[in-house]
């Protein structure tokens, strides 16, 4: 057998005994963030794949150590820019656990509501951008139309369109504006009434189904091996969701509304179907939270904090079911006003490692379909 060598090829071909190394990136197919894929090709087939990360690394975990417990919320907010509210939650839950602090009931239900609205906003971006990566331009316009409607209510309550900065240790920044719940309910109903566009326009499209069915099959064993979570893991039949299996916020009381969507196929189509059905369920959860908030008597939305907030010496781990998967926060305190260490376990970092397993054996033409179905944000990888 003729020994093979690797050659990075620019223009022209190579000998039959030479594999070609192809660099994809550093960029994302939708250009939101920079990821590099180093592919080794045998003709049109990928034989080896290596995700190369770090192009957006900002040292957030080191900066956590130099910011106090109010300031670190801003740093945690930004790594997954499509899930800002959910990112804040993990930090404040970890600090509240260290303090042994009980959050007012009104804040608990409002946090749950805003987390689910943020989940819908995240998923709508991928529901629109994934078909775009496969050549379908129309869904992205519908996705942004629906995102605008929900972003209006999120902006009204927090003042921010993407980086809400609304969570605080002990609750939320302030109470909901007068009449906001009515406007939020109308926005949720409006988005729900138009979600069939994605069911019919995308899932009903034979080209989309042809490009995604049976492509990029991720086995449950690989899900466990790489720590993959969220809709990607559930698309491979891994039935795990922290909102149900280790409830936090008000999810323990929403068991009759919460549905954990799974598929067995593990392909690109299954991952998209999980994302779409999870969006429908998030809208239902938002309605349930609005109903509960309407029943609550007026009360505080946060706890009064000392001027200088210090967590007691010790360590804790808080994790949340973020839109893209499991986010974990390992907090170590030495009793100071800043964390001694705050380690962030982001969903996208683990999810993208599975490309090492997914891409070998597939065609270059299917690479974009597989990459897009991993639903990652590069800032969430690099932190």
Q: Give yes or no for a contact between 317 and 344, defined as CB atoms under 8 angstroms apart.
A: no
pLDDT at position 72: 92
- 140-190 pLDDT, tens per residue? 999 999 999 999 999 999 988 889 999 999 999 999 999 999 999 999 999
The span from the CA of 193 to the CA of 190, in Å, is 5
pLDDT of residue 171: 93
Instruction: For 1-45, give the DSSP string.
Output: ----EEEE--SS---TTEEEEEEE-SS-TT-SS--EEEEEEETTE
Q: In this structure, what is the dihedral angle of CA atoms 219, 350, 132, 127, given to the nearest 10 degrees?
A: 80
Inter-CA distances, 314 with 103, 317, 330, 360, Å: 21, 11, 11, 44
Q: Is 27 exposed, middle or buried (0-12, 13-18, 19+ CB in 10 A)?
A: middle
Task: Please report the pLDDT score of residue 13 as a whole number.
Answer: 47
- The pLDDT assigned to 27 comes to 61
* Cα 222 to Cα 64: distance, rounded to the nearest angstrom: 32
Low-confidence ranges of the chain (pLDDT < 70): 1-18, 27-33
pLDDT of residue 11: 45
CA 343: distance to chain centroid?
18
Instruction: Give the pair of three-digit tokens for residue 16.
Output: 């039959």
Q: What residues contact 193, with CB distance under 8 A and at least 6 apart? A: none
Query: What is this structure's pTM?
Result: 0.90
């Amino acid at each position: 057998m003729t020994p093979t060598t690797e050659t990075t090829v620019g223009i022209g071909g190579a000998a039959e005994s030479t594999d070609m190394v192809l660099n994809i990136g550093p960029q994302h197919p939708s250009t939101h963030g920079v990821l590099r894929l180093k592919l080794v090709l045998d003709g049109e087939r990928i034989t080896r794949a290596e995700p190369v990360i770090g192009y957006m690394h900002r040292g957030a975990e080191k900066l956590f150590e130099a910011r106090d417990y109010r300031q670190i919320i801003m740093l945690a907010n930004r790594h997954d820019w499509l899930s800002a509210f959910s990112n804040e939650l993990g930090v404040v839950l970890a600090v509240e656990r260290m303090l042994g602090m009980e959050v007012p009931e009104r804040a608990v239900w409002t946090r749950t509501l805003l987390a689910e609205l943020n989940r819908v906003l995240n998923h709508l971006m991928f529901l629109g951008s994934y078909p775009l990566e496969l050549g379908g331009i129309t869904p992205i316009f519908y996705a942004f139309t629906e995102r605008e409607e929900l972003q209006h209510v999120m902006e009204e309550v927090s003042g921010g369109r993407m980086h809400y900065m609304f969570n605080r240790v002990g609750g939320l920044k302030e109470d909901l504006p007068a009449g906001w719940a009515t406007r939020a309910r109308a926005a949720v109903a409006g988005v729900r009434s138009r979600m069939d566009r994605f069911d019919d326009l995308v899932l009903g499209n034979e080209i989309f189904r042809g490009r995604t069915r049976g492509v990029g099959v991720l086995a449950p064993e690989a899900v466990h091996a790489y720590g993959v979570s969220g809709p990607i893991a559930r698309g491979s039949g891994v039935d795990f969701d922290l909102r149900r299996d280790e409830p936090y916020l008000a999810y323990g009381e929403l068991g009759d509304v919460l549905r954990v969507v799974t598929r067995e196929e593990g392909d690109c189509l299954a991952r998209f179907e999980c994302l779409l059905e999870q969006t429908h369920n998030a809208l239902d959860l938002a309605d349930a939270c609005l109903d509960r908030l309407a029943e609550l008597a007026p009360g505080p939305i946060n706890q009064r904090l000392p001027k200088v907030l210090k967590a007691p010496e010790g360590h804790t781990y808080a994790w949340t079911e973020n839109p893209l998967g499991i986010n974990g926060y390992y907090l170590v305190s030495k009793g100071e006003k800043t964390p001694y260490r705050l380690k962030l376990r982001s969903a996208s970092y683990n999810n993208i490692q599975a490309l090492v397993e997914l891409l070998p054996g597939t065609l270059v033409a299917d690479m974009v379909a597989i990459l897009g179905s991993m639903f990652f944000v590069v800032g969430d990888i690099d932190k």
